[in-house]
Amino acid sequence: MATDAPWQAIALRKQAQRQSRIPSAWLLKTPPLTSTLDVRFIPGTSGILDSHELFITENYDATSLADAIRSHQLTAEEVTIAFCKRAAIAQQVCNCLTEIFFDKAIERARLLDKEYERTGKTLGPLHGVPVSLKDSFNVVGFDSSIGIASLTGKPAKENALLVDILLEQGAVLYCKTNIPQTLMALDSDNNVFGRVLNPRNKLATAGGSSGGEGALVAMRGSVLGVGTDVGGSIRIPAMCGGLYGIKPSAERIPYVGQENGSRKGASNIGLPASAGPIAVSLRDCELFLKTVSDARPWERDPSLAYGLWSEQGSIERQPLLGVIRQDGVITPLPPVSKALDETVKSLRNSGLEVIEIDAPAFKKCQSLANKFFGIDGGNHMFDLLEATKEPLTTWLSTRLRRGTPISLDRLVDIHAQKVELETEMLKVWRDPRTGRQIDAFICPVAPHPVPPIDRWNGVSYTSSFVLLDYPAGTLPVRDFSEEDLNCVLSNSKPLGSWDKINRELWDEKTVDRRIYLNTTLSVQVVAPKLQERRLYQAMSLIDSILQMKSIGRAKL
């Protein structure tokens, strides 16, 4: 008889453990039909949350929750219970969680309430606010397995620094969220926990690698989650869920104390990842970034740059925005260009100056970024997989293999190329006509709408700003409409192989365009390096104009 590989038994145990941590009273009596594609309504019809808990989870963002707890309108305990219940439902319909610690969260919330009652002081800006975390963050007593069987059963002995800071500032941590195997895919699927589903449309991707975080927030099982991004892994799930997400510069938010399946120190010679928020409101992104920055994390992490929130750049005059319409590698599909055009038009109609940016160096970013990925040949990750005879998932099986680690001479060479490209790209921040500094520019998050599962095509619009270390964020524009289905694809010659594959996502012979309905069209906003506050201000300005336009459409 054939013997199952060790990873299979490990996966079954891990899934059973996860299921056991959901209270029986919070289990759905009737799971949704497979044919039910939009599952966001299920918390409201499940009977698991009472009317007050539904109101809490559907009508507050993290900022207003903090205000309501501070003003004694809500208690940390009732807020935490409500979001734990909703996260439990999200897990059952979207498979978005990995580690569950609802009981510890509720216990902490009770202690926070008692301390607030005793002292009259909140612990910090996040006092009583439930915050979810990507699986990679170490939390004492729980695995950071990142969906790898050989990393299970090894609970963390220390918290990641960011986890400690969030706790010090009053946050209630209650779960960790699902990711793709190896953290190197744009669809969150792994052999230990399975695939994350997009709650807006289960046939569309939830994105990756912070896909579970995006799905949980889209289900409002969380209103403020923390992800990481080394190629688009915050911005892409935010786009897939119609959410807000910000990737800071790498030197801004603590990243230490994580499991990412690579050797310690590897990120110091490759492209460093960033940690940042995925949220239901833009002001919650500011709440997170300000709270962490003002906790002075550079005093505990030598890799971080000094900078209180008030010192991270600002727009102090009439804003000057730019627009980059394509990267020269993959031409955006018609609905993506249309959403970008609408955004630029709305900004100009509101009186803002938006100039067209010609950035020929943008075309060079993706190919250079690719040289940094897998500089160790992926051997450490393959060692982890082979320890339990775990195979690659189907999507990764044709894309990853062991390789030879890059030579020192080659590593030095690509770092020299990076410095040269960074210098060349500095030109985009000046208006060539007037010399004025451009505060931020907008561009696509991706060259296509939210695609079907396992069909994300390239990350050139997101990984480029990891290479350059620019802070960048996803901003929802509007939902994809029936009218968008009629957009016509240009018959011009494809720019290359990536562009050719991208066009297949609009070719009715290879995709049913109706899959894009009920997804969101978004834009990306980018600011200069270490200018996170300037990025937030630009995003806030753009968002307020788009929100006014949305209100105008609703009145018609």
Which residue ranges are tagged as binding site for substrate?
A: 183, 209, 230-233
Is 364 part of the annotated catalytic residue set?
Answer: no
> From residue 513, how far is each of 10, 78, 489, 507 by CA, in Å?
39, 42, 12, 8
Is 188 part of the annotated catalytic residue set?
Answer: no
Among candidates 274, 306, 272, 299, which has minimal Cα distance to 288?
274
Is 209 part of the annotated catalytic residue set?
Answer: yes
Dist CA 170 CA 1 (whole Å): 54
Of the residues 14, 134, 247, 549, which is catalytic? 134
> From residue 365, how far is each of 277, 345, 422 by CA, in Å?
24, 28, 9
Residue written as tokens 């207003």? 64
Among candidates 323, 14, 297, which has minimal Cα distance to 150?
14
Of the residues 209, 210, 222, 522, which is catalytic? 209
Dist CA 554 CA 556 (whole Å): 6
List the beta bridge partners of residue 476.
522
Residue written as tokens 């927030």? 217
Parallel, antiparallel or unpaired: strands 244-247 and 274-279: antiparallel
Dist CA 451 CA 374 (whole Å): 26
DSSP 8-state class, residue 327: -
Which tokens is 424 given?
């060349």
Dist CA 234 CA 245 (whole Å): 6
Which tokens is 33 given?
């039909």
Residue written as tokens 């939830």? 206
- Residue 292: CB atoms within 10 A of its CB come to 26
Main-chain dihedrals φ then ψ at residue 500, nearest 5 degrees: -65, -45
Dist CA 321 CA 455 (whole Å): 32
CB 520 within 8 A of CB 477: yes
Of the residues 233, 249, 267, 274, which is catalytic? 233
Which tokens is 378 given?
């992926």
What is the chain's alpha carbon radius of gyration, rounded to the nearest angstrom? 22
Which residues are the active-site residues?
Answer: 134, 209, 233
